[in-house]
Structure 1
Amino acid sequence: MKYNVLVAAIAALGLTQCAQTREVSASNSATLAHAYEDHFLIGAALNEDQIYQRNAEIDAIIRTQFNSIVAENCMKFERIHPNQGGFFWDEADAFIAYGEKHDMAVIGHTLAWHSQTPEWLFLNDEGDNVGREELLKRMEHHITTIMHRYKGKVKGWDVVNEAVLDDGTMRQSKFYQIIGEDWVEQMFRIAQKADPDAELYYNDYSMAIPAKREAVHALVKGMQEKGIRVDGVGMQGHISLEGPTIDEYEASLVRLAELGLVMITELDVTVLPWPGTELTAEVSMSVEFQNEFNPYKDKLPADVSNQLTQRYKDMFALFLKHEDKIDRVTMWGVTDGATWRNDWPMEGRTDYPLLFDRANKAKPAVAEIISLTQSDDETSD
């Protein structure tokens, strides 16, 4: 009798321990970071309010849901190097400190980009364009100074951002006009010398367009064949409910993975009607406000919310399918209340593109995305 009681007690203890183990496991997998820790990094772009932890609820989301961060604006040229006389370090230093404090993979964005770059960079004292050698000298100073300051603290850098147009031709930026066709190559040479240990990336939008994909592939492969280190490509994920299709995105992901790491960067899903014929992420685009393009001023209808959930689930299912090719998936923002899509390309709109809403609550998509990894775990068991 005592033996049976003892056996029952041991069995009960075992069941309790198993239950506790399951509870811990469920608790850990209840965040994006824990659910995907064996698959790829989950990142978010941080703005200044988030870097300085001005909202406790949003800060809790960042610390629990993400294990990688990227600078949304504070490292862009006009912010960190606003005049020729010196740098503004406060925000970037705080960003780096935040990542170190919370043991996150830190991504630098961006060292060379045609937009959000001050005019002084390209002009001499007379107001004329500088020559090739002078611009290369200025860019070497810019890139080297920043990379040296944060050496050993940044996992990787978006060295060049958006140098290729959707039709596959090179963007006729000031960099291109002054330095020449090899300007992208020159930026990577400088970055490689500045920090040999940091990963170096090329980053661009609309990468599911075949012409653009192939042009970027040729650009990066050409540099690699010259011995210039390009560790991978960032595929910006500024997408909509309708496009690009999963097949189109997958074709580019697989193709670009031939070059090295693939990062899904700047991921958000606009739910609003698009005021144009082709979806783009060209920041210079600006359209006058029209009510017809702002249909969800008060809240998102249930059917559209369901579409958003399914869209995110389909995208993350694709990422898991190709997890061997993907190093990181980064959301371009944290909550809908502070997304750039509210004011681009039309100021005053109300968009719902991210995984956390304006009340700082997880959307249904979060649980669905997490469930994809739990299904994998159950299958492997």
Structure 2
Amino acid sequence: MRLTNYYLLLLTLIILSSCNAQKENNVVSLKDSFKNDFCIGTALSANQIEEKNEKEDSLIKKEFNAITAENIMKSMFLHPAKDKYDFAMADKFIAYGEKNKMFIHGHTLIWHSQLASWMAEIKDSIEMKNFMKDHITTIVSKYKGRIDSWDVVNEALNEDGTLRKSVFFNTLGEQYLVDAFKLAAAADPKVDLYYNDYNNEEPAKRQGNINLIKKIKAGGGKIDGVGIQAHWRLESPSIETIEESILAYSALGLKVAFTELDITVLPNPWDLKGADVNQNFEGNAKMNPYQEKLPDSVQVKLANRYASIFKLFLKHKDKISRVTFWGVHDGQSWLNDWPIKGRTNYPLLFNSNLKPKKAYQSVMKLKETNE
């Protein structure tokens, strides 16, 4: 009798072990849940690219199948001097994506911010043309066939839809936009080319974005998609406004990507909207209300907001190529220091301890109910 009980216990343990192993092999994740809908991406810091934190690295590989470099491919890092490129970190970023079979997005080729100081000082149109040709051709050619899509131009519009008076516009006029897309396409004809901006879901800026796209196409430029950064808030923009933008951009024959998704839960000074990294404001206690933790009531609001957004994304999954979060976890988020330094924000699906939040569960439940 004792021997029989022993074998029964042993058999039970074997079955349990097998079930647990099967569960581990079928771990539910964002990338697997949405694999038939669109890519799920994240922005990687330099430390994450170099795999310096084992737990972060494990989370990235488990949850995401697309990556964007948070900073290291911006011109101040990639092209620090006129006759010098530094590809060391970019090479590691590409290698990381290839090793993990991820969609690799290049961010960004032409942007007025985070420029190397020598670029901002260019005043002559011929010199600017030569810079753009060398910069875009060198970088895109180097990673030809290895990068899946590029932000060719980033944030070229003002909030009213007019063109920003950047160093590129001031030297070349609006032609620089056409030239940038032509140069990128010539360097890698097969890579997808995007225009990327914040608040370009808002009506005035959206119309300016549509006008810009039409000018690029009319000038012979190749443009495959629009990136909506999606630095959003708990109450705005409305789901209707976001949907109108998806439909408007898709109607132009373009892919739509949500490229830098995060949702601030903190109050904004003077009702600030947007993502201009050059804006900063002095802080006070009222502007940093959740220093220790996020109250459950706000966790629920954040979860409901993410659920509404992803419900819309699933509705239009045939038009959306990629949804990328701007950071892996709350502790990494740029919103802890913008537009007020030293605050504690909670804009992503994972907390600073890498644990999934209510918002994560709300997004995942959408797939459970749809299947």
**TM-score, normalised by the number of residues in structure 2:** 0.92
CA displacement, residues 67-105 of structure 1 (integer Å, 9 cap, x when unaligned): 000011000000111111211111111100100000000
1:338 aligns with 2:336: no
Tell me which amino acid in the other structure corresponds to 1:109.
H
Tell me which amino acid in the other structure corresponds to 2:37.
H
> How many angstroms apart in 1 are the aligned matches of 2:328 and 2:130?
37
1:77 aligns with 2:71: no
- The correspondence of residues 12-31 of structure 1 with structure 2, limited to 5 A, is 28=26, 30-31=28-29
Corresponding position of 1:136: 129
| Per-residue deviation, 1:256 | 1.1
CA displacement, residues 88-129 of structure 1 (integer Å, 9 cap, x when unaligned): 111111100100000000000000000000221243xxxxx4
| Per-residue deviation, 1:317 | 0.4
Corresponding position of 1:297: 291
- Contact in 2 for aligned 1:42/1:330 (Cα 8 Å): yes
| Per-residue deviation, 1:24 | 6.1
Tell me which amino acid in the other structure corresponds to 2:183.
I
Corresponding position of 2:227: 234
> How many angstroms apart in 1 are the aligned matches of 2:76 and 2:221?
27
- Contact in 2 for aligned 1:122/1:135 (Cα 8 Å): no
1:355 aligns with 2:349: yes
CA displacement, residues 249-289 of structure 1 (integer Å, 9 cap, x when unaligned): 11111111123100011000000001122421111111012
Aligned residue for 2:41, secondary structure, equals strand
> How many angstroms apart in 2 are the aligned matches of 1:298 and 1:219?
44
- Contact in 1 for aligned 2:94/2:146 (Cα 8 Å): yes
| Per-residue deviation, 1:205 | 0.3
| Per-residue deviation, 1:227 | 3.1
CA displacement, residues 42-67 of structure 1 (integer Å, 9 cap, x when unaligned): 00000101101111111111101000
Corresponding position of 2:34: 36
> How many angstroms apart in 2 are the aligned matches of 1:25 and 1:200?
39
- Among 106, 109, 117, the alignment partner of 2:107 is 109
> How many angstroms apart in 2 are the aligned matches of 1:186 and 1:162?
16
> How many angstroms apart in 1 are the aligned matches of 2:221 and 2:22?
46
- Among 257, 262, 265, the alignment partner of 2:259 is 265
User: CA-atom RMSD, angstroms?
Assistant: 1.8
Report the count of equivalent residues. Answer: 354
> How many angstroms apart in 1 are the aligned matches of 2:370 and 2:26?
15
Aligned residue for 1:239, secondary structure, equals strand
- Contact in 1 for aligned 2:260/2:324 (Cα 8 Å): yes
> How many angstroms apart in 2 are the aligned matches of 1:24 and 1:324?
32
Aligned residue for 1:121, secondary structure, equals helix
- Contact in 2 for aligned 1:342/1:349 (Cα 8 Å): yes
1:191 aligns with 2:184: yes
- Among 81, 88, 101, the alignment partner of 1:90 is 88
Distance 1:29 1:367, change over 3 A: farther
Corresponding position of 2:7: none
Corresponding position of 1:247: 240
| Per-residue deviation, 1:27 | 6.6
Aligned residue for 2:164, secondary structure, equals coil
Aligned residue for 1:276, secondary structure, equals helix
1:67 aligns with 2:65: yes
1:216 aligns with 2:212: no
| Per-residue deviation, 1:335 | 0.6
> How many angstroms apart in 1 are the aligned matches of 2:54 and 2:270?
38
1:145 aligns with 2:142: no
> How many angstroms apart in 2 are the aligned matches of 1:28 and 1:148?
39
- Contact in 2 for aligned 1:28/1:35 (Cα 8 Å): no
**TM-score, normalised by the number of residues in structure 1:** 0.90
Aligned residue for 1:159, secondary structure, equals strand
Corresponding position of 2:194: 201
Tell me which amino acid in the other structure corresponds to 1:256.
Y
Corresponding position of 1:177: 170
> How many angstroms apart in 2 are the aligned matches of 1:250 and 1:145?
37
1:51 aligns with 2:49: yes
> How many angstroms apart in 2 are the aligned matches of 1:337 and 1:25?
29
> How many angstroms apart in 1 are the aligned matches of 2:270 and 2:37?
36
Q: Which runs of 5+ in 2 are unaligned?
A: 1-17
| Per-residue deviation, 1:226 | 3.5
Distance 1:233 1:282, change over 3 A: same
- Contact in 2 for aligned 1:29/1:370 (Cα 8 Å): no
Distance 1:29 1:310, change over 3 A: farther
> How many angstroms apart in 2 are the aligned matches of 1:25 and 1:111?
42
Aligned residue for 1:79, secondary structure, equals helix
1:312 aligns with 2:306: yes
| Per-residue deviation, 1:25 | 8.7
- Contact in 1 for aligned 2:178/2:220 (Cα 8 Å): no
Corresponding position of 2:150: 157
Percent identical among aligned pairs is 44
> How many angstroms apart in 1 are the aligned matches of 2:256 and 2:201?
13
Corresponding position of 1:17: none
> How many angstroms apart in 1 are the aligned matches of 2:60 and 2:129?
37
| Per-residue deviation, 1:26 | 10
1:321 aligns with 2:315: yes
> How many angstroms apart in 2 are the aligned matches of 1:258 and 1:62?
33
> How many angstroms apart in 2 are the aligned matches of 1:77 and 1:195?
19
